[in-house]
Amino acid sequence: MSASTAPVETAARQHWMAVLARADSAQLDTRWQALNLQPEYQFIRQPEIGLTMLRGRVGGSGSPFNMGEMTLTRCALRLTCGTLGVAYIAGRNKQHALTAALVDALLQDGSYHDRLQSELIEPLAAIYKKNCAARDAKTRATQVQFFTMVRGED
């Protein structure tokens, strides 16, 4: 894949796209508004809601099975400078997908990258991490250790 701007590291882009997708819509919107950026863009793919099949594997490594479908909103747009931004968001929030795609495009642009990274991605990632830790702690408290006694059968 060739980009018109400087090549962006895939892992770094995956990270910020994941942060944007997992962020709370309201928090993302507030922080995005606070940045007061109004880039011009053209839609390549309007924000649209669809379904995607979630697949799992028995025991994490067995044969794959279809677990169920989830709603997904996706969006692709191009800034006037030519950078393409893409977003896939769980749920049906079109504004969230649009904002995430815009941020993804701007993050690939050297002149906005550092500011967005420090004012948007890092705080959102920290909030996500904190929420995960809180939920994990809550879940861990309810953990029950099951064990099965060996019954002497072979």
Partner 1 sequence: MTSLQTLSSQASSLKTVDASLLIAGFENPVAQCQQAFRQLLSATSEPGTLQTMVATDAQPAGLNTASWSLALSLFDADCTVWLSPVLAAQPALVSNLLFHCQTRLVEHADEADFALCNADELDTLQPFSFGSAEYPATSTSLILQVPALSDECSLSAGSGWTLTGPGIKFSRHLCVAGLQDSLQQELIHSRNRFPCGIDCFFTCDHTLVALPRSTQLSIDQPIDQPTDQHSAQES
Binding site for partner 1 (CB under 8 A): 1-4, 42-46, 48, 55, 64, 76, 78, 82, 84
Q: How far is the CB of 90 from partner 1 (least distance, A)?
A: 16
- Alpha-carbon dihedral angle through residues 134, 14, 21, 142, given to the nearest 10 degrees: -20
Angstrom CA distances, 141 to 127, 134, 138, 147, stand at: 22, 11, 6, 18
Q: How far is the CB of 4 from partner 1 (least distance, A)?
A: 5
Nearer to partner 1, 56 or 118 (CB): 56
Nearer to partner 1, 82 or 118 (CB): 82
Q: How far is the CB of 10 from partner 1 (least distance, A)?
A: 12
